[in-house]
Structure 1
């Protein structure tokens, strides 16, 4: 078991995390802290000096982190400094002071390296192929063009939320003429990017500004999920928010629900930068990434050791689910894999009947692996506990809607519950059609769970067919009776007819000597 510490010394904030890697390559976050230190504060374009006060704020945090690193028995420390230190004439001497005071060796990374690491953090945690990526910090913004999951171009512009705020004195009330001046300055910098896309392209944003804007939007719309990663903020809503934020005084901005009080002074510069990037990209929405440089540093270390062929990144969602289960149980139980194989077999054979997408099949697989995870909390109500885990676990590769859908699949793995749905605020983000899709897929999981009620994997094969007036299920078992699975699935017949509008006819074939194809399939999952 290895523990890796990662420190990102930015221009506005310092971030610190500790990741733990298990023997199987499973990893999890075990500690994190973020502190606003304003390292770039007071560093003018003329002097380009880190002030003594800013250095002291950073050293105070780094001294604490050095102690945590020692106590946590961290094997390796990956520590980098970005734009503020990179641009300061006394940046190198400051890092020598850091090493002498704390023992932490920090590396100044270039704007290009910063863009590459930010891209790595995003591409490992959001499953998108083509997009424009930007990472807005305190003293710089990195912008990258991504096509087919490859970073084609990157640029680092040496202006960020803190430096722009000081340049235009925009921490208080800002006049309309000053706002226009700031917009023109930002637009001029963006216009110099020769490879900036001419056609509309989705945009993913990283950094404290975009996270705060997303929080403000979620609060204002009553969004039921307390999640920022992979949240989509419509551009029209963003523009209205920026208009509102820039019209307020500093004191009024401090009272905006969702906006961090420590960011109220620099939010105007940050929000205008985000707005102009979205406008130039002609994107209909901004996707927020909660992962960036820190995660990129981690995967830069992790991939060459544990994911040389890139399979984990290529099949992000399912591998992320497996990774989570390994971190909490050491392995995901064979019963869960068997139930998953059984549910997928029915899904595939009845594809012409249910009409669900291949993506819903992937969500069903994820739910199959996770459906019993709640047992580690308590066997009683474990379906609801599993639903909570699916909704809140550190799992990557799905949208927020898909995570809600998977959570509901887990909740319904013994059958649908209208009461649970009514009391579940998150389910409100799903349309009626999406909820129907969940109910269809959940029936396959519930049938599979009931068929392995005894957890002895006695179902050797299922044959699924359909007629105009019914759906037919032939079940072959290795036992001479089918009392247990019949008892466990009987209550699902009414729900099945309600959802699919035709009855389910079940035939049992006990004592089957067929090779257990389902067990063979489950072993491969």
Structure 2
């Protein structure tokens, strides 16, 4: 690439999205800017999108001028892709020509099959589904994509002309709801997806992922209702919504018969109050037809897929990582963004892993918990650049307000709490962030933070004096046999003796140290 930055523009039926990414040395990318504008390209049509109206074209031009200016400010190469509305419009060539003349942006119109491929690429980068049979549902303004994939290969995909904007115009043109209109819409959706549902049932689906604005909006409504808040939730990626929660939210939406009433729904963007009923009907119908129990949300979709596709073409990305790689890339990206002794933290992570692997019979935690410990170990000093004395608390805040791809909200909270308790106070129920976890998660935090305290103590001087640990134990004590690189770790042992109490309390074992 001639530029080190890339801008991806998703020209959708409902809205236009821009993301700008910085290409990193390892071939991955970091999102450095975002923008979104509701355009409604398909306005004025009733179901089928036959023509893009002049008013919509002018809105598109003004928005794309802004997107071009933002992209140029980042010296970013632009890749613009158009989907359902432009794909179907009889005047799509005129639309593309006018956009090129007024903005100097070339638009590529992609097929429904290509749209599904790019969506799957994006989802694979944000949700840990690579090794699983996955059903991906993406509800846009003009179409809904149903995708079945495993290990980066699409097994089945279909693009259906049932988007939130399209069905709003067809069944709720004045934005008013009635029982008859709702039933007609449901039956229409059932008919449109019938053949796909039949084929999808032939696959052993292990996880269902939802992406794009409609599904993420419904997910946020679920979160708002369950947490009794409409603000402060930023980590939607990997958030799970149950079929029961979805049904409850859908009922709440469809009870609000008027557009004005729906604008008052807590947690709903007022710009979606007109099209959210159709979107809810589409998703609820798919869930009902396939007996889906839960949906995992993805922040990434088409526009991120565009980025990944371009990077693959340029030779930057050669393969898709499995779950652990997605998580590790995200952790390391956050770690490298802050100034602290990362080499020390990586060594602590290695020591913590040695302890974890030799104490399965004591802590009784599975491999996934080792990843939480690894993440917390690498990030445990990330708060240093804010405050030395309170870095454990600042670190927790940074972790819990960062986008750690591959981890869901609860997992990020667990990691943040483990990091917070690597020093100073033991976990206590009076601590808000700790008490917000359920009992199982609190137990994980207690056990893993106890291990992290031991590991961190054993590199107190940041000199990596302790290279290896072997562990023996009986019913009353645990013995840490330390293998050193030549110099006696006097400070490390002194520090461990000061900080071993949490481990002793949690596991009911007296800690002893031997040094070779």
TM-score (ref. length: structure 1): 0.91
- For 1:306 and 1:335, the matched residues in 2 are separated by 29
**Cα RMSD (Å) of the superposition?**
2.2
Tell me which residue corresponds to 2:189.
186
- For 1:46 and 1:466, the matched residues in 2 are separated by 71
1:298 aligned to which of 291, 302, 307: 307
Q: Which range moved further: 221-230 or 100-109? A: 221-230
- For 1:332 and 1:185, the matched residues in 2 are separated by 59
Tell me which residue corresponds to 2:227.
222
Secondary structure of residue in 1 paired with 2:126: coil
1:317 aligned to which of 283, 302, 327: 327
Are residues 92 and 424 of structure 1, via their aligned partners in 2, closer, same or farther at CA, if it must alter by over 3 Å?
A: farther
Are residues 415 and 361 of structure 1, via their aligned partners in 2, closer, same or farther at CA, if it must alter by over 3 Å?
A: farther
Tell me the alpha carbon deviations over residues 399-448 of structure 1, each in whole angstroms, 9 at most, x when there is no partner. Answer: 222211111111112255335x63434x4553323211221111221111
Secondary structure of residue in 2 paired with 1:104: coil
Map 1:60-79 → 2, pairs under 5 A: 60-74=62-76, 76-79=77-80
Tell me the alpha carbon deviations over residues 236-275 of structure 1, each in whole angstroms, 9 at most, x when there is no partner. Answer: 1211211121111211111001111011011111110010
Tell me the alpha carbon deviations over residues 300-330 of structure 1, each in whole angstroms, 9 at most, x when there is no partner. Answer: 122452332444776221122123333455x
Tell me which residue corresponds to 1:119.
120
Tell me which residue corresponds to 1:100.
101
2:201 aligned to which of 197, 215, 219: 197
Cα shift at 1:332: 7.2
Structure 1 gap segments, 5+ residues each: 510-525
Tell me which residue corresponds to 1:381.
390
Contact 2:125/2:320 (<8 A) preserved: no
Are residues 117 and 480 of structure 1, via their aligned partners in 2, closer, same or farther at CA, if it must alter by over 3 Å?
A: closer
Contact 2:414/2:445 (<8 A) preserved: yes
- For 2:39 and 2:445, the matched residues in 1 are separated by 46
- For 2:105 and 2:477, the matched residues in 1 are separated by 69
Tell me which residue corresponds to 2:156.
153
- For 1:79 and 1:267, the matched residues in 2 are separated by 26
Map 1:35-50 → 2, pairs under 5 A: 35-44=37-46, 48-50=50-52
Are residues 110 and 404 of structure 1, via their aligned partners in 2, closer, same or farther at CA, if it must alter by over 3 Å?
A: same
Secondary structure of residue in 2 paired with 1:258: coil
Contact 2:465/2:487 (<8 A) preserved: no
Contact 2:28/2:317 (<8 A) preserved: no
Secondary structure of residue in 1 paired with 2:353: helix
Contact 2:465/2:488 (<8 A) preserved: no
- For 2:293 and 2:144, the matched residues in 1 are separated by 21
Structure 2 gap segments, 5+ residues each: none
- For 1:347 and 1:383, the matched residues in 2 are separated by 21
Secondary structure of residue in 2 paired with 1:239: helix
- For 2:319 and 2:276, the matched residues in 1 are separated by 41
Tell me the alpha carbon deviations over residues 102-128 of structure 1, each in whole angstroms, 9 at most, x when there is no partner. Answer: 111110011011111111111111002
How many residues align? The count is 505
- For 1:489 and 1:46, the matched residues in 2 are separated by 70
Q: Is 1:506 aligned to residue 508 of structure 2?
A: no
- For 2:381 and 2:48, the matched residues in 1 are separated by 61
Tell me which residue corresponds to 1:357.
366
Secondary structure of residue in 2 paired with 1:14: strand
1:468 aligned to which of 464, 475, 478: 475
Cα shift at 1:485: 1.2
Tell me which residue corresponds to 1:519.
none
2:6 aligned to which of 4, 13, 27: 4
Q: Which range moved further: 373-382 or 1-10? A: 373-382
Contact 1:22/1:327 (<8 A) preserved: no
Tell me which residue corresponds to 1:446.
453
